[in-house]
Amino acid sequence: MTALAPPPPATVRDRFDLAPTPLLPDGFGVRASRWTHPSVRMRELLRTEPYLFGPGVYDPFGAQLVMHHGFKAVYFSGYSFAIGHLGTTDMDLYSGPEIADGARRTVAALRKYQLTAAVGDPEKGVRPRHLDIPPVIVDMDAGYGNIFNVQRTTELYVTAGVAAAHLEDQVLPKRCGHIGGKALVSAIEMIGKLRMMRAVADDLGNPEFVVIARTDGLSAIDAPQSERGMDLAVDRGLRYMDSGIPDLLWCEFPTADREPVETFTTEIRKRFPDARFAFNYSSSFKWFNDPQPLTFAELGEMGVGFIFITLGGQHANGHGLSTLLTAMVERQEQGYIELQRREWDPSADFPTRSHHQFSGVPYHHLVGKAYDAGRLGTEFAEVLPADKVV
């Protein structure tokens, strides 16, 4: 590669944790964790963190923002995917290959953003940021069919670099855990699907792939057994754990009430004292009305290893865009200018305020120049005043 000026000095931690890659010019580096498999990375985090939190997103852009702000996991939400890509609800209206392709593009985007951030913008004095790639955990709904649909989807997830996936025990077509009318398949059928997930990951050489088993037994109105409510949820949870397959167990709760969470985790741990759980800090609940909402720390003490807010990104995007559109209805161009003022406030940290930097224009110029690509290099960039353009 063509030699380039080295980046600004890294922090002490970075200097001991950076490695070169042929996808960066000389003098730049990325965290060595780039070459740690995402499933291995997730297991390390589950072992060493009080809990692992993953904000819910549905596209590469949202995942890159999660990574930029230092979160250690990304949750790829099925409901958000349905809204964001199909404009519909969470009732099994997309297929396994569709969401698998979204997850694949998201994993690739995170790897790309690590390179983009590691360059910064030398021309504008923007220092590199050395970021770890967060593992991506993806919704697999009820498997989109029988065990062979599970086989196909798991293969797509594993080969995409997904760290983990969760599977639920609803009949097809499934529905969001907070939409009424849920029904369950037999425990035997669900366990067969879990076994298939594990078998596919093992066959593909990823025995560390994290399998999350979800039960909707707590609020299901129909199931091929007599128990209902908490009895059904606990029975299903114990059966799934008895299979030896799940790394994490998830019970979907109909409300944000504390007592059912405590009851479920306690009952499961009577037989499996080391059981770890996943918890949906659901956007369906009005947490702001709860005088003492469950905290992430409290959940971690109950044995919850992975916490996520399924539709957090979707609600944030809806709020932000609606705020802009309302302002532009009222004040036309001034509504957008106000947004820019907030973005470029010196005290703010909005990485997307320069869409060129966030999407990697400086990276493409530097690497393109190093690889002798046509018309790539900072000498082709117009010299424009910084107070005029991004």
Ramachandran region, residue 138 (left: φ > 0; alpha: ψ -120 to 50; beta: rest): beta
End-to-end CA gap in the chain: 29
Task: Look at strands 248-251 and 18-19 and give their pairing.
Answer: unpaired
Residue 384 has what DSSP assignment?
-
Residue in 13, 118, 125 with CA at minimum distance from that of residue 67: 118
Residue in 60, 57, 51, 155 with CA at minimum distance from that of residue 107: 60
Token pair for residue 216? 């909707």
Residue 251: active-site member: no
The one catalytic residue in 103, 176, 201, 307 is 176
Q: Are 103 and 162 in contact (CB under 8 A)?
A: yes
Q: Which phi and psi angles does 310 have, rounded to 5°?
A: -55, -50
Q: How many CA atoms lie within 13 A of 220 on its CB side?
A: 29
Q: How far apart are CA 214 and CA 18, in angstroms?
A: 38
Q: What is the CA radius of gyration of the chain?
A: 23
Residue with tokens 């969401």: 99
Q: How far apart are CA 51 and CA 282, in angstroms?
A: 17
List, in order, residues 6 or more apart from 321 with CB less than 8 Å away.
none
Residue with tokens 């918890």: 279
Going 306 to 311 to 315 to 320, the CA torsion angle's sign is positive
Going 189 to 53 to 19 to 371, the CA torsion angle's sign is positive
**Which runs of consecutive H residues, i.e. helices, occur in 137-205?**
147-160, 187-203
Residue in 21, 28, 30, 23 with CA at minimum distance from that of residue 3: 28
| Residue count of the chain | 390
Catalytic residues: 176
